[in-house]
Structure 1
Amino acid sequence: MEILLKVLGAGGAAYAALLAGVFLLQGSLLYFPDMGRQMLRTPGDVGLDYETVWLTTEDDVRIEAWYIPAPAARGVALLAHGNAGNISHRVDYALLFHRLGYSLLLLEYRGYGRSEGKPSEAGTYADARAAWRHLVTERGFPPERIVLVGESLGGAVVARLAADERPGALVLASSFVSVPELAADLYPWLPARWLTRYRYDTLAALERVSCPVLIAHSPQDEIVPFHHGERLFAAVKGPKAFLELAGGHNDAFLFSREAWRVELGRFLEQHLPQGSVNPVPR
């Protein structure tokens, strides 16, 4: 009995240490800015003109973005990427939106790529607001001509922005309901919902969104389970569409590239104003 109690005590202590470590170090489990510090390529490498833009956030952090114009653009997309890599890993989005007739602003979070600062939940929201202000105020795009696009973690970022502003449309790719819900799926042996200090509550934001929403998700997603996409879709109150992708979390858009392009183009044509826009800086 004494040995058993010692074993149980040691196990309990180890489990408590694990919980403390997860609570204190969860930022390193959520953000991976070092996975892709190197800039791999630019839109110029795929034949697209682009401009490097340096934005200053409301809390005085300097962040990078790439602006890729499209001729006679129908509007502009603002992309918030996932929790790993940087904007140089998302150049294919520039090609996608260019072919659809939209300009694109690729946003780099604080602490990622060449941007200053350290990533945080409040910080990523501030980064997105700085990008929105740039498009509306400095470039003069009407809000109804702006498409907010978020992949994975970025979905929570732009959903919050869409809830606070009035974009023309919102596109969520492989996004999750919230960090506590995702953590509970990924770590079922931990009281994950109670341990998480980050919220990124995409579901709550969607309940305040009034613009049309496109949800894209794969049943084979091994990181963000498919039911997250289904729950997000169910929460949308206004016009909406769902695109079922194929493949894993990081390669679904490769497997579904043509279907993704066609469905996204159809969605934007249906819900955004037609004709080119001539933005006038304010």
Structure 2
Amino acid sequence: MKHTTKMAGAAGILSVLWLSLTAAVAASQRRLLFNPKIKREVDRPRSSGHRTRPIVLRTADGTKLSGWLMTPSVMGPHPAVLYFGGRSEEVSWIARDAGKLFPGMAVLAVNYRGYGDSQGDPAEQHMIDDGRMLYDWLAERSHVDPERIAVVGRSLGSGVAVQIAMARPAHSVVLITPYDSILAIAKRRFRAVPVEYVLRHRFESIKYASALKAPTYVLRAATDDVVPHSHTDLLVAQLAQLHSDETIPDSDHLTIPYLESTQERIAAFLKARFAIAAHQA
């Protein structure tokens, strides 16, 4: 009888601990998933190959988003790029590096809600809704060729880029350290928690991969302790229009977008894709 009582007591304690852990993950998921950076990565962002100007755009619910629009110095219309950053990324560095990353292209890089000078709080649905608005705004610029707009997403932003490419006629897609889904990664990290019942921001790119119509270029870090390669493998296996899947030597999850080899490959891919479209027009 005593043994049964002890067993029941232990089971009760474990149940309380499990419920506490589940509640803690549910309550802190926004902090775990999003890590907004307010301070600029670059104090005075300016592309050597573009005219650079800060912009403030208002979302459908009135939230102000801040970022940068970069346009080539020659007359357009130009191919264009819409960039989505990572979990802890403030995007002013894009304005600095756009000349190497996106030569001859118009570029729009806007901070998510709660990042940089953008107002509001980050959430998956906000990122998708705002991303569609940003794509439409960019396509309406007189110096932009609306038939040649690429979406580029890094890490967390790869999940945004995939969904925007599904919702809009993206010409090309570049995914830097992408994943199959945040839900799958969360399940891997919190094995004792029923994550599928508490996670609200799932970023399930794998659901859309087989229907993506745009040629997609995947870049992986040689060493990645944030997005395990197995989670990228699952996404790549489902991509309907995979152009190539490359690993950048001597890179990790944090350094990969800043490396010269990464930037040269992205520039070469986009220039080639845009040139083919221009020739066919």
Q: If the length of structure 2 is used for normalisation, what is the TM-score?
A: 0.86
Taking the aligned partners of 1:46 and 1:13, their CA distance within structure 2 comes to: 58
Which among 229, 240, 254 is matched to residue 250 of structure 1? 254
Q: Does 1:101 align with 2:108?
A: no
Cα shift readout 1:225-244 (whole Å, capped 9, x = no counterpart): 11222222221212511111
CA distance in 1 between counterparts of 2:257 and 2:21 reads 35
Distance 1:245 1:179 in 2: 23
Separation in structure 1 between the aligned mates of residue 99 and residue 186 of structure 2, nearest angstrom? 33
Distance in 2 between the 1:272 and 1:176 partners?
26
* Distance across 2 between alignment mates of 1:5 and 1:186: 28
Paired residues of 2:100 and 2:267 also in contact (CA < 8 A) = no
Answer yes or no: is the 8 Å Cα contact 1:97–1:104 preserved in 2. Answer: no
Q: Is the 8 A contact 2:50 2:73 kept in 1?
A: no
Match of 2:73 in 1: 71
Q: Which residue of 2 aligns with 1:62?
A: 64
Give the partner amino acid of 1:249: H
* Aligned residue number for residue 279 of structure 1: none
For residue 206 of structure 2, what is the aligned residue in structure 1? Answer: 203
Match of 2:216 among 205, 213, 216: 213
In structure 1, C-alpha distance between the alignment counterparts of 2:114 and 2:260, rounded to whole Å: 33
Q: Is the 8 A contact 1:143 1:167 kept in 2?
A: no
Given the alignment of the two structures, is residue 13 of structure 1 paired with residue 29 of structure 2, yes or no? no
The number of residues matched between the two structures is 271
Q: Deviations for 1:186-220, whole angstroms, at most 9, x for unmatched residues? A: 22333333432222111122222211100111242
User: In 1, Cα distance between the equivalents of 2:84 and 2:126?
Assistant: 13
Q: List gaps (5 residues or longer) in structure 1.
A: 277-282
2:92 matched residue in structure 1:
88
Tell me the amino acid that sits aligned with residue 81 of structure 1: G
**Equivalent position SS for 2:252:** coil
Q: In 2 relative to 1, CA 125–245 (structure 1 residues): closer, same or farther, beyond 3 Å?
A: same
3-state SS, counterpart of residue 116 of structure 1: coil
Change in CA separation of 1:144 and 1:138 when aligned onto 2, cut-off 3 Å: closer
Q: Given residue 272 of structure 1, which amino acid in structure 2 is its aligned partner?
A: F
Matched, 1:112 2:115: yes
